[in-house]
Structure 1
Amino acid sequence: MEPICIVIADDHPLFRDGLRALLESVPDTRVIGEATTGTEVIEEAQALQPDLILMDIKMPGTNGIEATRRILQTSPHIRILILTMFEDDESVFAAIRAGARGYLLKGAVQEETLRAIRAVARGEAIFGPAVASRLTHYFSSMQPTGKSGPTHFFPELTEREYEILTLIAQRKSNAEIAVQLILSPKTVRNHVSNILSKLQVADRAEAMRAAWTAGLGQFPSEDL
């Protein structure tokens, strides 16, 4: 069998060196590139077309979540395994929405890392034990109330933020949202800023598309 061709995206040289040494110690994986920023890994993915990318979340410039989203827009066949120190709900769910096929913490033992790489390369979805436990707890705690809410689509958002995102999906301006919710324009702007940060999107248009994807509002007949 051909080895799994891998790009490592992480801004810590010692961690990259350790991963490379691990991957070079087994016959079924091959490192074909490395990147230290989100912009670099997007370029590497386009140029090298690897089978799999090991993606950190926090990197200079474009973060790993946004890099994942952009890579999969043009190269959906590439598998992406998030390998990070962050296990908070916000990061986990943002990675899943961006299209990552796996999520593993950097403290994982080498055997676990290799198993995850092989599983994701086969097309499976794989999550480390700690992350899997959080996902299981989240989905088991969901109550079928019959109405949409932040626990159903965007668990990282507060109820107010979810309400504002819903109005953004309806193409409401900040001024219109302020009037409808009886809030000051400054308060609305602060909520919108928090929404962009939590969803890890670059601007209002991307937040709107994320909301449409989740079923809030409808996709327009043509792009914004």
Structure 2
Amino acid sequence: MNNRPTVAVVDRCSLYAQSVAAWLRQLGLAATGHHDVSDGVDWNGYDVVVMNVAYPGSAGLVARLAASGGPATIVVGSGERHESVVRCLQAGAAGFVSATESIDSLAAAITETARRGSLGGRRLTSRQTQVLALIAAGRSNREIAVRLGIRLHTVKNHVHAILEKLEAGSRAEAAARFVGAAGLARTAAWSHR
């Protein structure tokens, strides 16, 4: 990667994809917007793909890019699409940025993700990603255990591992990183192996 990451912005709304790409170009990134990727986009020309989590088949596209050694993917969305975010992270997305974040925060996440690459950082397992998403949704350890059908002690072990891998001092800090409120430079460490 050079100092100016190349970025593909993917959204089913052409206007949104083109607008985000234009904003990123103003911040010095080489960005292009795409609203239909079924016609065979050459992903080799990109360092990072920014994809709206609501894009049809987003998790499948993330999985194909990850399996082929393509560019790292960052998904953008809201907490209301919690399950879609988790599916994308489990499929191999390098990170998540909340749709409520600024374009500057997104650019910072892109730059760091491109710097680290899609395989950089200490990654969370699929289950740890699920636990982190539920922490970010405000669930207690007991509620997480019930939701996932696992023991409370197991949840505590997952929380400990998450805090250690993300180098977070608390559940709140880990949750803030997950939703993009802080620490976006760590997004590259949040995908499933």
With normalisation by structure 1, the TM-score equals: 0.50
Contact 1:38 1:64 in 2 (8 A): no
Q: Which amino acid aligns with 1:37?
A: D
Q: How far, CA to CA, are the matches of 2:98 and 2:144 in structure 1? A: 31
Identity %: 15
In structure 1, the residue matched to 2:59 is 65
In structure 2, the residue matched to 1:161 is none
Deviations 1:76-108 (A, max 9, x none): 5x1100022454331122111101111123232
With normalisation by structure 2, the TM-score equals: 0.57
Deviations 1:10-59 (A, max 9, x none): 121221232122111123x102x43213534xx3244x431000112233
SS at match of 1:44: coil
> Alignment length, in residue pairs?
137
Contact 2:21 2:33 in 1 (8 A): no
Structure 1 unaligned blocks of 5 or more: 126-131, 153-212, 215-224
Question: Residues 141, 6 of structure 1: CA spacing in aligned structure 2 closer, same or farther, 3 A cutoff?
Answer: same
The alpha carbon displacement at 1:122 in A equals 2.3
- Give the aligned CA root-mean-square deviation in angstroms: 3.4
The alpha carbon displacement at 1:150 in A equals 3.1
Larger Rg: 1
The match for 1:44 among 32, 41, 54 is: 41
Higher relative contact order (CA 8 A, sep 6+): 2
Contact 1:142 1:151 in 2 (8 A): no
Q: How far, CA to CA, are the matches of 1:133 and 1:34 in structure 2? A: 28
Structure 2 unaligned blocks of 5 or more: 122-131, 151-191
In structure 2, the residue matched to 1:20 is 21
